[in-house]
Amino acid sequence: MPDVAAEARRRRTFAIISHPDAGKTTLTEKLLLFGGAIQMAGSVKGRKAARHATSDWMKLEQERGISVTSSVMQFPYGDHIVNLLDTPGHADFGEDTYRVLTAVDSALMVIDVAKGVEERTIKLMEVCRMRDTPIMTFINKLDREGKDPIELLDEVETVLGIQCAPVTWPIGMGKRLKGVVHLVSGEVHLYEQGRNFTRQDSTIFASIDDPQLEARIGAQMLSELRDELELVQGASHSFDLDEYRAGRQTPVFFGSAVNNFGVQPLLDFFVRHAPSPQSRETTGRVVAADEPRLSGFVFKIQANMDPQHRDRVAFMRVCSGRFEAGMKAFHVRTGKEMKLANALTFMASDREIAAEAYPGDVIGIHNHGTISIGDTFTEGEQFTFTGIPNFAPELFRRARLRDPLKLKQLQKGLEQLSEEGATQFFRPLMSNDLILGAVGVLQFDVAAYRLKAEYGVDAIFEPVGVSTTRWIRCDSEKKLEEFREKNAMNLGLDAAGELVYLAPSRVNLQLAQERWPDVRFDATREAA
């Protein structure tokens, strides 16, 4: 009998958060290298290129220099199984990123040593804070000149409001970079240039008192280092597992991803201390990871991964129990049993058919539109995982066809793209308009591009008189009916058929709210 508890305990599921260009892709590549998943560096970029070849619309990503897809990579490290969930890089895709962060147990924050805390990092950090996600920090590009390490920690503490506990400390920086000291083990890892792209077996001394260290880094540097360490250890916090797990303290590492330096101490510390899958809240009860029965939720849908097959893959995070290929699971929202045939796992080398999966793992389920973001699967129990919201979009456009005969395709395209969650699709009750809502303006370009490439529809998006939307809820059928009648002009349905108030202005929304105190106007739709 497979031991679900033991399998859950050895899983580490996390995402990397960073400002674009801080080195997320490079670090991902190195982590995969340690996992033995790839032989050569450049493979993540290679994978990107291969995906571009199969999926045409991703050309847009390439042209814009953004990444709009997120993927899942799984690799073994020691006795552990690590799941790395990639978050989309561009600021416009915040909602998608948000949902990826609901599916992880911890995060790794990458900061550029020269740039310090940047705007996107601040935003992502806010998201992590909503769930008290534990965060480790990697300060990257140490081979370049950057800010003073002590000032950087100060910046992280004041700007991000999280206590720093340095675990490695740099010896020099830029041209003077000599290595890092491990403040917990006392070891000194020397930096050797040109060792990138292989597993780094750097020279390691047991402590800074090793007589050979002076010969390697020089008497002056050693004496400076001693002074600095004294200062750091006196002024900063030491690592506290409980504080880290509570999201109040971040262990900090220094290194250079491109040179594969300082990455291994990070990874070793990560698998040792980062949380394994934890219990999760549902509408019914709290579900513990080590329960024997399968449960999980869908946090992402990707359409047309393979345009030839028009498939849609729902990414499900396993929260408890064991998934086995071909098993049937209960789709709570529709109340139907569903056979999870041909589910995919995401071993870093490739997408593969999943034989089994455990808490913390992500499986990809092929489907034709029956599965939505936020859906829960169980082995029969009626509960839904909470905290995976759809946000009310902030920008709206009406889709207009250049060829009116393609209305059906347009509708289908908009519906399917909305299933992925980056955009939302609304149909007013009183008109034939097709309205797309998005959080960022770039998403309209992406939608237009994909409609053309994947559905053969030439559409443009033009302004429409909607400024915000709210999902409508009401406990009284009668009141709801009355509200519907009186406000039909401003009501519509979202892609899932839920009633939505399409407010022409904020003032209008406010008035409607005041006039209808029994009606709830919700800014997020927790997939019901």
For residues 134 and 106, what is the distance between their CA atoms, to the nearest angstrom? 5
Q: Which of 24, 147, 189, 312 binds ligand G4P (CB under 6 A)?
A: 24
By beta-carbon proximity to ligand G4P, the closer residue of 18 and 70 is 18
Q: Which of 140, 236, 367, 469 binds ligand G4P (CB under 6 A)?
A: 140
The binding track of 35-74 with respect to ligand G4P, each residue x by CB under 6 A or -, is ----------------------------------------
**Considering the rule CB under 6 A, would residue 316 count as an interface residue with ligand G4P?**
no
Give the position of tokens 């915000």: 468
Measure the CA angle with vertex 128, ends 127 and 129; round to 5°: 90
Task: Supply the minimum distance, in Å, between the C-beta of residue 344 and ligand G4P.
Answer: 24
For residues 44 and 144, what is the distance between their CA atoms, to the nearest angstrom? 23
The binding track of 294-313 with respect to ligand G4P, each residue x by CB under 6 A or -, is --------------------
By beta-carbon proximity to ligand G4P, the closer residue of 115 and 273 is 115
Part in contact with ligand G4P (CB under 6 A); list of ranges 50-58, 90-98, 121-129, 257-265 = 257-265
Please give the size of the binding site for ligand G4P, defined by CB under 6 A: 17
**Considering the rule CB under 6 A, would residue 276 count as an interface residue with ligand G4P?**
no
Could you write out the three-class secondary structure of 346-389?
CECCCCEECCEECCCCEEEEEECCCCCCCCEEECCCCCCECCCE
What DSSP character marks residue 404?
Answer: G
Beta strands 204-205 and 106-112 are unpaired
**DSSP β-bridge partners for residue 521:** 472
**Considering the rule CB under 6 A, would residue 141 count as an interface residue with ligand G4P?**
yes
How far CA 331 is from CA of 20, 234, 504, in Å, comes to 37, 55, 36
Contact 138, 110 (CB under 8 A): yes
Part in contact with ligand G4P (CB under 6 A); list of ranges 17-25, 46-54, 313-321, 506-514 = 17-25
Task: Supply the minimum distance, in Å, between the C-beta of residue 329 and ligand G4P.
Answer: 35
By beta-carbon proximity to ligand G4P, the closer residue of 27 and 316 is 27
Part in contact with ligand G4P (CB under 6 A); list of ranges 13-21, 349-357, 427-435, 520-528 = 13-21
Q: Copy the structure tokens of residue 527.
A: 């997939």
**What is the DSSP annotation of 277-321?**
---B-BSSS-B-TT-SS-EEEEEEEEE-SSTTTT-EEEEEEEEES
**What is the DSSP annotation of 97-151?**
HHHHHHS-SEEEEEEETTTBS-HHHHHHHHHHHHTT--EEEEEE-TTS----HHH
Q: Which of 143, 375, 419, 420 binds ligand G4P (CB under 6 A)?
A: 143
Q: Which of 8, 15, 26, 200 binds ligand G4P (CB under 6 A)?
A: 26
**Considering the rule CB under 6 A, would residue 84 count as an interface residue with ligand G4P?**
no
Part in contact with ligand G4P (CB under 6 A); list of ranges 14-22, 366-374, 397-405, 431-439 = 14-22
**Considering the rule CB under 6 A, would residue 454 count as an interface residue with ligand G4P?**
no
The binding track of 87-116 with respect to ligand G4P, each residue x by CB under 6 A or -, is --x---------------------------
**Considering the rule CB under 6 A, would residue 133 count as an interface residue with ligand G4P?**
no
Task: Supply the minimum distance, in Å, between the C-beta of residue 313 and ligand G4P.
Answer: 23
Query: What are the residues binding ligand G4P (CB under 6 A)?
Result: 18, 20-26, 89, 140-141, 143-144, 256-259
